[in-house]
Every structure is written in C-alpha cells, then in structure tokens.
A = this chain, B = another copy of it.
C-alpha cells in the first residue's frame, strides 16, 4: 500500500508575535509547492486520503495537492503536528488498512515525517532521510499486519526534480 510523505513548502520566517502554527507559505513557497503537486499529478499519483498537520503551512500544502487532483479534500490529523503522536497515527493506519483503504498522503513537518518513515523502514530513528521543503517520499507498506520495519522506500524526491 502506497504512503506518500510530503513536507510543507517554504513558509514565512518565525516571528515572536506569531504562533508557529499560523505561519503560511510564502508566495515563492506557494508557487513551488503547486509546481511539485502538478509534477506528482503528471506522474499519475493518486491517493484515497490526504492527512495533514493542522499547522497552516502544512494544510495549505495539502490543499494545493487536492487542487492539483492528487486526492480528496485533506483531513486534519493532529498526530501530524510537529512532535505529534506516532502511535496515534499508527492506530489510524491499521484501522484504515483493516477497512481496505488505499494509497494515502501525509503532509507534515521535519523531523517527524522523516523519523516516521524510518520507523516504517527500519523500526528505528536515525535521522538519515533528508526531505527538503515540498519534497516527497514514497513508501510501500504491507497490505496487512504491522507496518513497522516492514516498508520499502521507493522515492525520496527533492522538489526541484518535480517543479518546473
């Protein structure tokens, strides 16, 4: 079962007056993210669910993916916020799997996305996967059973191979 992990695009710099979760994509970040989503669409990427971090820069990225036809309207998944609860996502995944769900995209942050991918691939975290802003990973997870340490990595794409 295919799992796409997409990091949010380039966002506004942090500012003491603004909560981190409200930082939005810059104009450049918006443009590049849209271009990446178009590139994914051109490769035939299609998912049945888009789960996103509640943080604005991620949910904007997820909406762009939806707008470019990659999948249905994104659903906010609290576990995808920075430092979010991996076990909670894993429980979601196993329920999704049990009900016969298909390909999924997660839109979130580093280091979480990279560390989650490592748990799925090797069962442990080593910060070995470098995912740029608006970059994309594709993992193949088993159809059944616990996916931890059972996945394979098919793609780790820097955005510039997809964007114009």
Contact = CB atoms under 8 A, between A and B. Distances in A.
Interface centre among A129, A155, A162 (most CB of B within 10 A): A155
Contact of A128 (B43, B151, B155): B151
Number of copies: 2
SS of A interface (majority): mixed
A128 B119 CA distance: 12
A162 B92 CA distance: 34
B155 A157 contact: yes
A153 B126 contact: no
B126 A122 contact: yes
Interface in A113-129: 121-122, 126-129
A152 B130 CA distance: 7
Contacts of A126: 121-122, 149
A74 B54 CA distance: 49
A154 B156 contact: yes
Contact of A156 (B127, B151, B153): B153
Interface in A90-120: none
Interface string A132-164: 000000001000000001011111111011100
B130 A122 contact: no
